[in-house]
Structure formats: C-alpha cells, structure tokens
Amino acid sequence: MAGAKGILGRKLGMTRIFGDDGTIIPVTVVEAGPCPVLQVKTVENDGYEAIQVGFDPIPDRKANKPNRGHQAKAGVGCHRLLREFRGPVEQELGQALTVDMFAAGDKVKVTGTSKGKGFQGAMKRWNFSGQKATHGSEKIHRVPGSVGHCTYPGKVFKGKKMPGHMGAKASTVLNIEVVEVRPEENILLLKGQVPGPKNGYLTVRKIEGR
C-alpha cells in the first residue's frame, strides 16, 4: 500500500512452519490490522506530514470523552491503541491499513514492550559476574560491588548500574523477515522472536529500501 509506513498488531504467540526444503522455521504469529486512519496531519496544520491509525476496536462507552470525540471524526468507531506514522501521506481519513502492504521476504522492524521481570539484582539485570566465592568470602557472592566514592565527589552518579525494575520497556528489533502474509486472516508470520508477551501490542514498520 503506497505511502503507508507500518501497521499495528498483537502478538499471538510462536510456532514453527516448514520451508520448501523441509527446514524448520520458527515464526511469531502477529494479528496485524486492519488499522483505520483516524487523523491525517499536514504541514499546513501540524508542521509535518503523518497519519494516526488505530487498532483493537472497543465500544464507545469504554473511551473517555476527548478520545471519543477525536476518533468520531473518522467515522470508524473507537480503538484502544493509537499510533502515528510520519512521512508523505497518501491515505484518506477512515481508510484501513491491512497486511497487504507486506510481502514474503520483506524486512521489517518490530517495536513492543518487553516482558516485565520485576525487581532484579545487578547480576541478572546487568549480566554482572558477581564476587569471588572462595577464601573467606561471606554473603557477597551476588552483590554488585562498590557503587560510590569517598570524600570527592561523595555521591553515586546517575545511571549507575544497580538493582532495580527489569523489563517492561519499549524494545525494537531490526531486520526481521516476513515469512508469510495471510490477508484473509489479517496474519503476519515473522521469522524468529519479537519483543513482548502474548497478546502484547506491536508496531511493525517497513525498513526503507528493503
């Protein structure tokens, strides 16, 4: 589909398919679209060109009043997830983006929210090796070691790799191959793994020149 840069979807899980030569190909199954265009942004009105699309229809009563009024302009109902794709616009308000924009062999980049791991120590969170486990070491085997300074500067610098919340962050994987497109089911089969848990939302974008 000319002008479209990507599509929104939901990760359904992983499986495998067999290639023509009998090789096993691990794939992620993504329910992608249809994603109606909810807003068309122009240089004159907004300072740049872009389209805003929606995914995962919901009843109007589940959207707040501002969101309901904004999405009503397209006349395609309310959607839970809204995202924007910048670039030259060739779509019209209300037009739906589908998986037809992709073909087997295309390269895409996929953005999702990584799985949350909760509060984790420095060894798991940052792949630290830990302290020595011999010659009298006691109860320090998984500690990160020194984190601060003495009199000067007398503080812990921001960004220091320490224990804390792990995962649940935006993550993008590049150069993922589209193995198969099933337009009748709104399904994309992507080679390998993509970020996020089952039923997590994904943004699948075309890679320019691919």
Tell me the pLDDT tens digit for each residue of 122-149: 999 999 999 998 998 899 999 999 898 8
Q: What are 9-30's pLDDT values in tens digits?
A: 999 999 999 988 999 999 999 9
Q: pTM to 2 decimals?
A: 0.84
Alpha-carbon span 196 to 15, nearest angstrom:
15
Q: Which fold has domain 34-97?
A: Double Stranded RNA Binding Domain (3.30.160)
Q: How many CB atoms within 10 Å of residue 205?
A: 17
Between strands 6-18 and 164-166, the pairing is: unpaired
Strands in 50-58's sheet, in edge-to-edge order, are 78-86, 50-58, 35-41, 96-97
Q: What are 56-66's pLDDT values in tens digits?
A: 999 999 999 99
Alpha-carbon span 141 to 71, nearest angstrom:
55
- Every domain of the chain with CATH number 2.40.30.10 lies at 1-33+98-127+162-210
- Which residues make Cβ contacts (< 8 Å) with residue 108, sequence separation at least 6? 6, 102, 176, 178, 190, 204, 205, 206, 207, 210
Q: Please identify which residue in the block is written with the tokens 């500690």.
A: 143
- What pLDDT score was predicted for residue 2? 47
- What pLDDT score was predicted for residue 209? 62
DSSP tag of 60: G
Burial class, 100, CB count within 10 angstroms (exposed 0-12 / middle 13-18 / buried 19+): middle
Q: What are 29-48's pLDDT values in tens digits?
A: 999 989 999 999 999 999 99
- Every domain of the chain with CATH number 3.30.160.810 lies at 34-97
- What pLDDT score was predicted for residue 208? 74
* Torsion angles phi and psi, residue 50, rounded to 5: -170, 165
Looking at domain 1-33+98-127+162-210, what is its CATH homologous superfamily? Translation factors (2.40.30.10)
pLDDT value at 3 more than 60: no
* Torsion angles phi and psi, residue 71, rounded to 5: -75, -20
Q: Label residue 1 by pLDDT band (50, 70, 90).
A: very low
Alpha-carbon span 189 to 15, nearest angstrom:
9
pLDDT value at 165 more than 70: yes
Q: Label residue 192 by pLDDT band (50, 70, 90).
A: very high
